[in-house]
Structure 1
Amino acid sequence: MTAVLCRQFGLKHIEIAEDIASDTFLKATEVWSLHGPPENPTAWLYTVAKNKTKDYLKRNAIFESNVVKTIMEKSHDHCFTDIDFTEQNFRDSQLAMMFAVCNPAIAKEAQVCLALQILCGFSVEEIANAFLSNKETIKKRLFRAREHLRIQNFKIEELRAEDIGSRLDTVLTTLYLLFNEGYFSKSNDNLVRKDLCAEAMRLTLTLTENAHTNNSKVNALLALQCFQSSRLEARIVADGAVLFEEQDTALWNKDLINKGNYYLVNAYATKELSKYHLEASIAYWHTTNIDNGKWKHILELYNELLLWEYSSGAALNRTFAFAKIYGNEKAINEAAKLGLPTNSYYHSLLGYLYSAIDTDKAIDHYNQSIRLTNSPLEKKQLGKTIATLAEKRNSS
C-alpha cells in the first residue's frame, strides 16, 4: 500500500504514504473488532486508503497548489482519487520502490535500513538486531536516508537496466535480512516468524518474474529461502524450536524442497558464484536424508563461505558441521578459536558440545547463553535444556 501511494506521491512524501497506510489498518482494527471483518478485507482496506488519500488532498493546501498542478500537466485523466490497487500495480510498485529506495546516492547500509523499514515494516529494534548494531545508530541512519530522499525528491520510476546492476545487491541483502529475521527472530515473542519468511519469499519471487532481475543470484537466494522454509513446521514447537537432528523429517515440506532444487539448478546455470549459492547449497544438503559424506560436503561449503564472507553465524554453523565429522572434543577446540564470548549462540553451541562430555560445563555455557539472549522463548528453551541436563547428572 505504501509502495503504491509513493509511486503517485513520490518518495518526497513518503511519511504521508506511511501515515495513510497506518491509519487504514488502525481503522480496520477499530471497525472489524466491533462488526467483524468484511467479506472482502483486501478491497475494504484499499477503499479506505483511497478515501483517506482523497480526504488528505482536500485538506492539504500545499499539496493542491504544488503537486496536483504537476500531475494534471502530465495527464489530464490522472488523479490521486483513482489510485490503482490492482495486483499487477501492487507488484510493479513494490518492485520499483525496492530499487528506488536502494539508491547509490544513499550510503549502502542506510539503503538496507530504509528498505527494511519502508518495505518490510521493520521496527528500529529489528533493524538493529539484523545489523548487530544499537538502536541509536540505526535511528541516525534512517533519519539521514529519509532526509536525502526529501532533499533530492527521488521518484519511483519504471526499472531501467542500468539501475539494476548498481542496486540489485542491496535489494538482495534486504530480502536476505528480512528472511533471516523471520527464521531466527530476535525481536519478537516467537523464535520463528512465518510472516516475514513468506514476505521475503514473495518479494524474491517477484524478482524472478522480471526479465531484468531474474539472474543467478536471485535464483540462489530463492532456493535458499525454499530449502529453509521447507523445515519450518518441523522446527517449531509450542514453546521453542527443535534442534536440526531432532526434527521429524516427515514434517518437511517436499514441495518447497523440490522448488528449492529447481531454483538452485537455475542459479548454477551460469558460472557466477555468490554467498547465496553457497548458503543454498548448504541448505540443500540439510534437506537430504543421505548420510554418506553429507557433513563433509557441508563443512567444505562452510569453509568456502567463510572465505567469501565471514560472519559469526556461519563460523558457529561450521563448527557444528565440524563436530559431526571429527567429534565434539575437537569441535570445542575449534569453537575456542572463534573468540565470541559475548555471543549467546556461541555459548549454546558449547553447551551442546559439552553435553556428552562435561555436564557442569555444558550447564555453565547454557546459563551464559541465557544471560546474553534477549529472546524470552530462547531463555525458556535453554532453561528446559539445563533442567534436563541437571536431572541426568543427579540421577547418574
Structure 2
Amino acid sequence: MKSQVSHRELVPHLFRQEYAKMTAILCRHFGLKHMEIAEDITSDTFLKASEHWAINGVPENPTAWLYTVAKNKARDYFKRTDVFEKQIMPDLKSGDTEPSEMVSFDDQLISDSQLAMIFAVCHPANSGESQIALALQILCGFSVEEIANAFLSKRDTIKKRLQRARNNLRNTDFQIKTLSTTEIQSRQGTVLKTLYLLFNEGYYSTSGNKFIRKELCSEAIRLMLVLTENPLTNSAQTNALMALMCFQSSRIEARTDENGEVILFDEQDKNLWDMSLIERGIYYLVNATNGKETSKYHLEAGIAYWHTTQHGDKWGNILRLYNQLLLMEYSPITALNRTFAFSKVYGHQMAIAEAEKLGIRESSQYYELLGYLYAQSDKIKAIQYYEAAIKHTKSNTKKATLKREIERLQKIIW
C-alpha cells in the first residue's frame, strides 16, 4: 500500500528529519576522515527517493525505505572500492564477510550516533565557531545561508570557515569514539550552543515559507533529553537550556494561525499554551539552580518562564533579566528584545528613544520593533518602518504578517 502524501512535500521533510541521523550512522563505518562519502551516500539516497517516488508513488513506510536504500548503497560502495579491501576488511573478524551486516540503522544506534557525531565534530582542531558551524551543516542539515543567519555573518565568510574546518578534520587523526570525562566536559559548551542554534532556527525561522519549523525544535529537544539523562552531561547549563526549550515550545501552537501567519505575543490565545511543557520547564529550571553558576541559558530560561505567567511583576522581571543577559553576552537580537520589554514597563515613547540608539539598520526586527512602537502615536511613521522591515526580511511568512499590520493601520488612517 502506498502513502497518499505527495513526494514533493515528503522528501524535503524527511531530508530535514533523517539526513543528519543517516550521515551520523554512516560516519561510524567510514570514519570522520571520509565524512564526504557518508554525505554523498545520504544525498544519493534522497535523490533516488525523489526520482523513484515521483514515478512509483511514496511507499507505505518511506523512512524505512530510505534507510534500506542507504544501507544497500553503503554495502555496494564497500564492495567496489579499495576502502573496503584495505581499511574495513582487516578489522572484520574471520568469516564475517557479509558487508550488508556492517551497517545497522536501529533506533538506539541512530540516537547514539548523532549525539556522538556532534561531540566528535566539536573537536579542538577547529575554533568554537567553526565547530558549531560544521555541526550545524553536517548534523543538522543547515544550508550555508542558514548558518550565516545564525551567526549574523556573511555567506562567503561562513563558506570559507566551513571549508577550513573540514580540511582541519581531514588532517586530524580522530574518529567517533568513547570520549573521556574531560573531553566530554570540555566540548559540552559547544554542543549546547549547537543545539541552542538548532532550536532557535526552528522557533524563529529566518527564511522560507514557515515561521516555525517544528521538526527542528523537536530534534533539538530530543538530543537535549539524551544529555539530561546522561550523568556526564546532566549539568546545570544542560538543564537550563532544556528548561528554555520547554518554555518556548509550550507557546508554539499559539504563535501562528491556521494560515501559518504570525500571531503577536499580545494577541496569542493563552488557552493554546501547553501547560505540561511549562511544568516540565519549571522542573528543569529547578534542577538548573544549584547556586554555583548562572549562564545565559539560565537567564533566557527565566525570561521564557516569565512570558508564560501572568503573576507578579512580569515585565519588570523580564526587563531585569534582559539587563543581566546583555551584560553577560551582548547581541543585537537580545538588545531588541530587551527594548520590547522596556516598552512594557516604561511605555512606547521612552522605548522609541531606546530603540533608535541601537541603530541596527540591517535587521528586519529593528524596523518591525519601531513600527510596533510608533503604531499608537504616529501611524504613518509606523507604516514606513513596517515597509522597511519587509525589505529586510527573507521570511515570506513574516512579510505576510507585516503586510497585514500595514493594512490594519491604513484602514484606521483612511
Amino acid at match of 1:98: I
Shift of 1:374: 1.9
Match of 2:74 in 1: 53
Hey, what does 1:94 align to over in structure 2? 114
Q: Deviations over 1:6-44 (max 9, x none)?
A: 112110110111111222223333333444444443333
Q: Aligned residue for 2:339?
A: 319
Matches within 5 A, 1:197-346: 197-237=217-257, 238-290=259-311, 292-346=312-366
The aligned residue for residue 369 of structure 2 is 349
**SS of residue in 1 equivalent to 2:334:** helix
State the alpha-carbon separation in 1 of the partners of residues 247 and 64 from structure 2.
Answer: 33
Quote the Cα distance in structure 1 between the aligned partners of 2:96 and 2:327: 56
Moved more, 29-38 or 251-260: 29-38
- Corresponding residue number in structure 2 for 1:8: 29
- 1:111 CA drift (Å): 0.5
Matched, 1:81 2:100: yes
Give how far 1:160 is off.
1.8
Distance in 1 of aligned mates of 2:380 and 2:183: 56
- Superposition pairs of residues 379-390 of structure 1, within 5 angstroms: 379-390=399-410
Q: CA RMSD in A?
A: 1.7
Are residues 1:32 and 2:48 paired? no
Q: Distance in 2 between matches of 1:341 and 1:35?
A: 50
- C-alpha contact 2:125 2:172 (8 A) present in aligned 1: no
Task: Give SS of 1:67's match.
Answer: helix
Take 1:55 and 1:342, find their aligned partners in 2: how far apart are those partners? Answer: 49
Unaligned runs of 5+ in 2: 1-21
Once the two structures are TM-superposed, the CA of residue 255 in structure 1 deviates from its matched residue by: 1.6
Deviation at 1:78, TM superposition (A): 8.2
**Contact 1:71–1:79 (CA under 8 A) maintained in structure 2:** no
Within the candidate set 349, 357, 366, 2:386 is matched to 366
Q: Distance in 1 between matches of 2:269 and 2:209?
A: 24
Residue 17 of structure 1: aligned partner: 38
- The alpha carbon displacement at 1:262 in A equals 1.2
Change (3 A) 1:334 1:43: same
Q: Distance in 1 between matches of 2:68 and 2:392?
A: 46
- Structure 1 CA distance, aligned partners of 2:395 and 2:59? 36
CA 285–110 in structure 1, closer or farther in 2 if over 3 Å, else same: same
2:161 to 141, 147, 162: 141
Residues 335 and 221 from structure 1, CA distance in 2 versus in 1: closer, same or farther, beyond 3 angstroms? same
Q: Which runs of 5+ in 1 are unaligned?
A: none
Verify the 8 A CA contact 1:8 1:80 in the aligned structure 2. no
Partner AA of 1:367 in structure 2: E
- Alpha-carbon distance between aligned partners in 1 of 2:99 and 2:283, rounded to the nearest angstrom: 42
Would you say the 8 A contact 2:365–2:389 is kept in 1?
Answer: yes
Evaluate the alpha carbon distance shift between residue 391 and residue 219 of structure 1 in structure 2; reply closer, same or farther with a 3 A threshold: same
| Separation (CA, whole Å) in 2 of partners of 1:368 and 1:349 | 11
Q: Matched residues in 2 for 1:225 and 1:64: separation?
A: 42
Counterpart in the other structure of 2:186: 166
Contact 1:112 1:171 survives alignment (8 Å) = yes
* Matching residue of 2:4: none
Assess, with a 3 A threshold, how the Cα gap between structure 1 residues 298 and 252 changes in structure 2: closer, same or farther. same
Q: State the number of aligned residues.
A: 391
Measured in 1, the distance between the counterparts of 2:42 and 2:75 equals: 13
Helix, strand or coil at the partner of 1:236? coil
Give the corresponding residue for 2:9: none
Q: How many percent identity over aligned positions?
A: 58
CA contact (8 A) 2:41 2:70 kept: yes
Counterpart position of 1:190? 210
> Structure 1, residues 29-84: CA drift from partner, whole Å, max 9, x if none?
33334444444433332222111111111121x213431244237x8748753212
CA contact (8 A) 1:11 1:153 kept: no
Q: Deviation of residue 202 (structure 1)?
A: 1.1
User: Which position in structure 2 is the counterpart of 1:103?
Assistant: 123
- Cα deviation 1:188-219 (Å, max 9, x = unaligned): 21111111111111111111122211111111
Q: Distance in 2 between matches of 1:286 and 1:232?
A: 13
- CA shift at 1:388, angstroms? 1.1
After superposition, give the CA deviation of every residue in 1:164-200 in whole Å (9 maximum; x if it has no partner): 1221111111111111111111122111111111111
Q: TM-score, normalised by structure 2?
A: 0.90
CA contact (8 A) 1:348 1:366 kept: yes
Letter in structure 2 aligned against 1:138? I
Mapped contact 2:207–2:396 kept (Cα < 8 A): no
* Aligned 8 A contact 1:125 1:187 in 2: no
